[in-house]
């Protein structure tokens, strides 16, 4: 069976983990955490960042930092992972779901302004499949209405909006290094702080609500409880694993993008014939080879294709169930209709894409999909 995903180990992970262990300090904010921070600042150009135990954690930090209070409204796409919403619900926010574009699962930036009310506090965008949302429109709406923008860039490492790296545009941004993402550490994530007014507080919330980091830098003579917070830092063992991956970012990315392009070119003819639809990359965005999907004509067709592939030992999957139709949301909110989101939820199919996917196997997958649609 060709799996849907296979986490790629570069081979350097154990070397760095061993080194982390031999340094004798493996709690958070250690040697490798700092090395990863430097990598992101120097190689990607992020102004300030903090590794976290997950993207979910980073989103929870973002919700605390933007100061969500009970009843505040947060606008975000319904077509996303649960954590995008949950992090803000935990602080008492009311989630206002926006629809996707008709031809792209990302939040329809032109539909956002209508959802802004006097209670709106923030807009959370999700760069689905690592493809940029229309950030100029989003940032304009935010500026005009005095809102914060958080980029859920969980899938968006090494991807761009025009010439800006994703994660460098909103006030805050969050990344995931879960084993299903391009760069991994098992579980892992990162908060990027673009608005420097958040710098000091971000570090305190990260360190259980204490000024521990400032204390160790010798900036304060006491180490005390100064704010709310939690234990959002990963152990330095996790950071050591991540560092091995980061050193191989270029190699990993070029393979993933190559696989993405092979799928795209292989299926172009099916799109030209009107059989399926392929990812639409807007002129302001790019693909970072995070995931490859096709859009089927119906839910039934998609199920049949999944079964056909499974019968030929290929595991293909779909996601996300529209959050506005989830049991938890429906219980506490009025019914809303988001047509495009539901459409992606019903017809989008993800194909295997991972570093070690062999060219021959990928060719077979493309042929199988073509064979299915010939019938």
Ligand X SMILES: *Cc1c(COP(=O)(O)O)cnc(C)c1O
Contacting residues toward ligand X, per CB under 6 A: 54-56, 80-81, 83-84, 126, 152, 154-155, 176, 178, 189
In total, the chain counts a number of residues equal to 375
- Least Å distance, CB 63 to ligand X, is 13
Q: Which is nearer to ligand X, 154 or 338 (CB)?
A: 154
Nearer to ligand X among residue 80 and residue 182 (C-beta)? 80
Q: Is 230 exposed, middle or buried (0-12, 13-18, 19+ CB in 10 A)?
A: middle
Q: DSSP secondary structure string, 220-239?
A: -S---B-S---B-PPPHHHH
Sequence-distant (6+) residues with CB within 8 A of 60 are 87, 90, 230, 232
Report how far residue 65's alpha carbon sits from residue 22's, in angstroms, rounded to the nearest whole number: 35
Cβ of residue 273: shortest distance to ligand X, in angstroms?
A: 31
Q: How far is the CB of 70 from ligand X (least distance, A)?
A: 23
Going by C-alpha positions, the residue among 122, 52, 57, 53 that lies closest to residue 92 is 122
83 vs 343, beta carbon nearer ligand X: 83
Between 124 and 316, CB nearer to ligand X: 124
Pairing of strands 120-126, 73-77: parallel
**Nearest distance from residue 76's CB to ligand X, in Å?**
10
Looking at the Cβ atoms of 48 and 180, the one nearer to ligand X is: 180
In angstroms, the CA 28 to CA 362 distance is 40
Supply the minimum distance, in Å, between the C-beta of residue 105 and ligand X: 10
Q: Which CB, 270 or 353, lies closer to ligand X?
A: 353
Task: Report in angstroms how near the CB of residue 242 gets to ligand X at its nearest.
Answer: 12
Closest to ligand X by CB, 353 or 368:
353
CB closer to ligand X, 80 vs 253: 80
CB-wise, 125 or 270, nearer to ligand X? 125
Q: Select 317 or 366, whichever has its Cβ closest to ligand X.
A: 317
Q: How far is the CB of 261 from ligand X (least distance, A)?
A: 22
- The least CB distance from residue 190 to ligand X, in Å, is 9
The rounded distance, in Å, linking the Cα atoms of 256 and 130 is 12
Among all chains, which residue has been given the structure tokens 């956002």?
112
Give residues with Cβ within 8 angstroms of 295, minimum separation 6: 276, 277, 278, 344, 347, 348, 349
Contact by Cβ (8 Å): 133, 107: yes
The whole-angstrom separation of Cα 74 and Cα 323 is 14
Tally of CB atoms within 10 A around 144: 10
Residue 70 to residue 282: CA distance in whole angstroms: 36
Distance CA 92, CA 172 (A): 19
Shortest reach from residue 176's CB to ligand X, in Å: 3
Residues contacting residue 161 through CB under 8 Å, at least 6 positions apart = 132, 133, 135, 169, 284, 285
User: Angle, to 10 degrees, between the axis of helix 359-374 and the axis of helix 299-311?
Assistant: 130
| Region for residue 11 given its phi and psi (left: phi exceeds 0; alpha: psi -120 to 50; beta: otherwise) | left
In angstroms, give the least distance from the CB of 303 to ligand X.
Answer: 23
């Amino acid at each position: 069976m060709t799996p849907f995903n296979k986490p790629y180990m570069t081979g350097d992970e154990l070397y760095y983990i061993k080194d982390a262990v031999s340094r004798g300090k493996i709690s958070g904010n250690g040697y490798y955490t700092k090395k990863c921070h430097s990598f992101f600042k120097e190689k990607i150009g992020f102004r300030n960042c903090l590794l976290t135990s997950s993207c979910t954690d980073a989103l929870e930090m973002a919700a605390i930092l933007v100061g969500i209070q009970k009843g505040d409204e947060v606008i975000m796409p319904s077509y996303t992972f649960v954590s995008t919403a949950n992090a803000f619900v935990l602080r008492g926010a009311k989630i206002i779901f926006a629809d996707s574009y008709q031809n792209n699962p990302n939040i329809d930036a032109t539909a956002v302004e209508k959802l802004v009310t006097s209670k709106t506090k923030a807009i959370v965008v999700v760069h689905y499949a690592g493809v940029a949302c229309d950030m100029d429109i989003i940032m304009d709406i935010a500026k005009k209405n005095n809102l914060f923008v958080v980029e859920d860039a969980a899938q968006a490492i090494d991807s761009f909006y025009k010439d800006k790296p994703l994660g460098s545009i909103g006030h805050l941004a969050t990344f995931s290094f879960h084993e299903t993402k391009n760069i991994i550490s098992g579980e892992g994530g990162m908060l990027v702080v673009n608005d420097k007014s958040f710098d000091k507080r971000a570090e305190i919330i990260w360190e259980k609500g204490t000024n521990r980091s400032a204390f160790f830098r010798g900036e304060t003579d006491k180490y005390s409880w100064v704010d709310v917070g939690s234990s959002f830092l990963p152990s330095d063992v996790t950071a050591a694993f991540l560092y091995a991956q980061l050193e191989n970012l270029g190699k990993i990315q070029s393979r993933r993008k190559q696989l993405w392009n092979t799928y795209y070119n292989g299926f172009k003819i099916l799109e030209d014939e009107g059989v399926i639809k392929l990812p639409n990359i807007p002129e302001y965005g790019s693909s970072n080879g995070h995931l490859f999907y096709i859009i089927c004509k119906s839910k039934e067709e998609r199920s049949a294709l999944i079964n056909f592939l499974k019968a030929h030992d290929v595991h293909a999957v779909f996601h996300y169930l529209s959050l506005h139709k989830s049991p938890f949301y429906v219980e506490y909110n009025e019914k809303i209709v988001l047509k495009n989101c539901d459409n992606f939820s019903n017809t989008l199919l993800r194909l295997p894409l991972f570093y070690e996917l062999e060219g021959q196997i990928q060719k077979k997958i493309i042929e199988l999909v073509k064979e299915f649609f010939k019938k």
